[in-house]
Chain A
Amino acid sequence: MTQPEPARPHLDGAAGTAGRLILPIAVTAAILVVLPHLWFADSPYTTGLAVEALVFGCYAVGFNLIFGSTNQLFLCVGALAGVGGYATAILSDKASLPLAVGVAIGTVSAAIVGGLLAWIAVRRSLNVIFTGIVTLVFSLAFTNFIIGQRDLTGADTGYVLEGAATKLADDRLGGYYLFAGLLVALLIVFRALQLSHLGWAFRALRDDEVAAELAGVDVARYRIYAAVVGSAMIGLTGGLFAYSLGFISPVTYGFAQVDVQVLIIVAFGGMGTLLGPVIGAAAFGFLDRALSDSGQLREAYYGAFVIAIFLFLRRGVVPTVGGLFERLVGSRRRAQRVESAAPGRSER
């Protein structure tokens, strides 16, 4: 990023644009590949925490697409992941379908559920808070449903995936690379959506819903699209997570355990940004590790940290850092632009 660049994307060459748009993902992927070798490959405990951070990163990308891009507060990330997770577990274990089929059905089910929730919210034109509450109610109902179906799900005691346990649960590093790959794949999908006409519609409806509607953006349709794709991401992650853990229980997908954390990760990283979920998940991974020996007070420290970041970093890390960067680099760029514009030649 050291060579001087033209200020506006549409003035770039096609190759330059593509490079810049892919670059953050490529850098993330490179870091994810080398990180275990530089740091924690020999510590199963830290590797386990890293896997968890990656899983939360994947959830956060899906949630970011739904909430960050289209302003629908889905407080059912855990439940959607649970739809994927339990479908995968039960189909591949009890119905002895191949794992891939189980994961696929789980992903599709989560996408359908998410799409339905968005459809309801759109039809009833619920605002952010009410969408949040309806999906929260869905989350709680889902947890109760899982607990109720004792024969199928093992209720609170949990469910051991017979087939999966031997494979990935013991191979922590394998799990790490599985979710690192998934995270990169989801980021690519997110970026591709941002670049397509969907991304344009998302930006419009996020900036000003009424104006977007007036400009001919079918807000309802794009909300449902975002919910379907985001929920599929979450369901897929939940299914693969079940498989890699080898054991799931309602707590694995609980509201307090998943949704709260994902909301904080995305708000911390920066709503609607590409790398926000990754940075948020990494930060909370570090926080988890740092707090791991503080015992009983862990939760209190965690809460204090949450309060501190939202008091001082309201817009999230990515927009704040981006703003600082723009201010530093932007002034130089502006100077260049004035210089190049001054002699009266057009900018091509």
Chain B
Amino acid sequence: MATLSIKNLYVSAKGTPILRGVNLDVNEGETMALLGPNGHGKSTLLAAIMGNPAYTVDKGSIFLGDQDVLKMSVDARSKAGLFLAMQYPSEIPGLNSSDFLKAAMNAHREKPLSLFEFYNKLQTAYKQMGIPFEMTKRNLNEGFSGGEKKRNEILQMLLLEPKLSLLDEIDSGLDVDAMQIVAKAIRNEQAKGMGFLVISHYARLYSMIHPTKAAVLINGKIALQGGPDIIERIDKNGYEWIHDELGIDIEKEIDAPMNNVSIGACATKVKINDKQ
């Protein structure tokens, strides 16, 4: 069973509480839209599920089937079938895309792929995502445009075949054609049984991938859950009606503290107190 079950989850970033008691279930093969005003914790929730060390889980539990996700390392979560398509994928200098993909795919298998299998899978996925195969020679995300990075995230999803994919604003930075390609790839995987938890600010992506459920995250909690009709309502009317109907005061954006980065002279970027 690959049901994701989140109970009473409290998460903070650098001491600032962001999630304050999230309860949410995503059933196997389900596509859930995760909505909510900016700064109320949508990305934090996805990051916490994947185990981003920038966030601290203070309380609560996350289970994938019977596996206790919070006890697992980040790579173990990936191997258990979770995948996070990031809003801002990292550019890794000097790391060749194809070397990275091979290492990642092999990490998910007991026996390493043969060169032939690897290239076949790679070619199929690049073709499906409309990315030129020459891009395998480029360094991972380095110098990629916003849209290329997003397609590259979905490409990795196709190659790693997770059970549940968490998509954090996968549609931002995509032009219309790229959006079609990404939506089609998602629909293909839905048909194969992959589950999705999807953050987007636009009804357009949702209209292309047909979520089965929707949840609204407000003030660090799930304020409302239901069918896809919620998406349409929010798209038309914003979030105010939730205040009127449910009596929830929508707080101003919760400001997460800035990263400890100082930009010095000569654009020298020095990371201070960055743990290893």
Do A and B belong to a common assembly? Answer: no
Interface residues of B (CB under 8 A from A): none
Interface residues of A (CB under 8 A from B): none
